[in-house]
């Protein structure tokens, strides 16, 4: 990293930071001088992530907040805790995500994949927007996936009650990430906050190992050919720190370059419909 990408004095909040690309991103941003706030669900894994950052970065400024992002109440508590500790937020990295075989319902009565992968970042970003705007220039980064190309957003069945396929539901949540990025970018025009989505590549990590179906076999057989978590984190690090993307917003990136997402991901009407429904489900102003 070149000297101009130093992030001394900046604060970065990273969800899904206890392993994989989230943890590697935290290490890299810590090396650049940023204060990194790691969000994890399990206390032991979260503390292990802190230890890993401290081992990787001499004098690291690292903090943690525990939150189960499948719960809207927990997302609100996360935002409250962050605001009570910090007066600024320079980078919000919505990195947490999951894929599960069988349909599960959260404490809010929502389908778990959609709630965790889309509604959580939608709500968290909304709750922290004032802090981001006051800290500008600031950046929101949403970790999506090229899986979105096979996603299909059915606004009449966002909770996948009629049909559930683990990978398809995951892919649709990644499509929602890009649609959210698109709508958010429009709403942020005229502010000093930008937002972009990223495909990290197919990364060799713990992701998907909890599944039992076809995707588990893809992970198991293809794992030796996948990217390392360190390689998968490069584009997230780039979007968080590089001056090359100053002012760039509403785009989709892979390998530190813009790429064209699916036609569905570029559908303005669909993006706005999803925004309104997401606002209703999370109880925020549309």
Q: Looking at the annotation, which residues are catalytic?
A: 170
d(CA 233, CA 284): 31
262, exposed or middle or buried, with CB in 10 Å at 0-12, 13-18, 19+? middle
Distance CA(100)–CA(111), nearest Å, equals 11
Q: Could you give the dihedral angle defined by the CA atoms of residues 151, 196, 15 and 55, in that order, rounded to the nearest 10 degrees? A: 120
Spatial CA neighbour of 193 closest among 256, 261, 156, 141:
141
Strand order in the sheet with 251-254: 61-66, 35-40, 11-15, 91-94, 138-143, 193-198, 251-254, 257-258
Q: Which residues pair with 64 in a beta bridge?
A: 38
């Amino acid at each position: 990293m070149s000297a101009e990408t130093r992030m001394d004095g900046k604060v970065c909040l990273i969800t899904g930071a206890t392993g994989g690309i989230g943890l590697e991103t935290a290490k890299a941003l810590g090396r650049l001088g940023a204060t990194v706030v790691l969000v994890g669900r399990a206390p032991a894994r979260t503390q292990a992530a802190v230890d890993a950052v401290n081992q990787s970065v001499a004098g690291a400024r690292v903090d943690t907040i525990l939150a189960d992002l499948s719960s809207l109440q927990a997302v609100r508590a996360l935002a409250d805790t962050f605001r009570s500790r910090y007066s600024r937020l320079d980078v919000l990295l919505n990195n947490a995500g999951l894929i599960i075989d069988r349909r599960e319902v959260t404490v809010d009565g929502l389908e778990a994949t959609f709630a965790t992968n889309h509604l959580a970042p939608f709500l968290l970003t909304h709750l922290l927007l004032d802090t981001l705007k006051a800290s500008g220039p600031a950046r929101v980064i949403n970790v999506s996936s090229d899986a979105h190309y096979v996603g299909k957003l059915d606004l009449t069945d966002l909770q996948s009650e009629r049909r559930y396929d683990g990978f398809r539901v995951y892919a649709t949540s990644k499509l929602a990430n890009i649609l959210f990025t698109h709508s958010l970018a429009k709403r942020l025009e005229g502010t000093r906050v930008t937002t972009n989505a990223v495909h990290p590549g197919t990364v060799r990590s713990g992701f998907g190992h909890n599944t039992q179906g076809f995707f588990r076999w893809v992970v198991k057989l293809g794992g030796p050919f996948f990217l390392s978590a360190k390689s998968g984190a490069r584009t997230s690090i780039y979007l968080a720190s590089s001056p090359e993307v100053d002012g760039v917003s509403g785009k989709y990136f892979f390998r530190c370059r813009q790429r064209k997402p699916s036609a569905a991901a570029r559908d303005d009407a669909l993006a706005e419909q999803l925004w309104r429904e997401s606002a209703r489900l999370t109880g925020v102003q549309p």
